[in-house]
Structure 1
Amino acid sequence: MTIRFAPARKRGHPAIAHTGGPSRRRRAANDNGPDSSHHLLLEAALRHFAGHGLAAAEHARDNADAARNAGDDLQCAWWLAICRTLDRRMADAYARRIAGTKA
């Protein structure tokens, strides 16, 4: 099977969609905006991972559980968010478990 590469089309060709002028600043499609809380959480999760390796998500879940048992809901939410950043399934399972015990 032969592969043939077509030459690039000229800029004014109707087959090319043009969404803005060259002076328009474009953001990356995966850019979540200026929300710094996401960056702080990601940095904390990466630092936690650096300190605990592959067991970091489990360690974060255990920290969330200890904070919950101590009655510190804010710390529990923080550690659960770190756990969720590292392992969403583990964090969701823990969140379901503690939601079932509150009832």
Structure 2
Amino acid sequence: MTLHFAAARSATRSPIARALSRRAVARAANDNGDAASLQADDKLIHAALRHFAEHGLGAAREARKQAEKSFFEGDRQSYDWWLGICRTLDRRMAEEMDRRKQR
């Protein structure tokens, strides 16, 4: 009986192996924005985490309520603080609220 050598196929040469192999994700799906926006203030992150621990999944909504209250009271510094906490927890909610306030 004669034996013939058959080289193993690599994923780069085999059409079936290429079709079944997973390709690397080109870019991570992340809604945090660019690297500059990731350099958030440590105090704000700490406050947002404490706020989340206190209010759970509704923490961003509660921070938005606090920001709205501060806005209508005319306390801009407190508004910016609560908006920052809301933005840390839910960027889209904070951007929507900020857009509405600027109209």
TM-score by length of 1: 0.62
Cα RMSD (Å): 2.1
2:49 to 46, 51, 56: 46
Partner of 1:63: 66
Percent identity between matched residues is: 48
What does residue range 1-103 of structure 1 map to in structure 2 within 5 Å? 38-100=41-103
Q: CA deviation at 1:74?
A: 0.4
- Which amino acid counterpart does residue 69 of structure 1 have in structure 2? F
Q: 2:43 and 2:94 mapped to 1: Cα distance?
A: 18
Structure 2: unaligned runs, 5 residues or longer: 1-8, 12-34
When Rg is computed on C-alpha atoms for both structures, the one with the higher figure is 2
Q: Deviations over 1:41-100 (max 9, x none)?
A: 000000000000000000000000000111100000000000000000000000000001
TM-score by length of 2: 0.62
Q: How many residues align?
A: 70
Structure 1: unaligned runs, 5 residues or longer: 4-29
List structure 1 runs of 4+ shifted beyond 4 angstroms. none
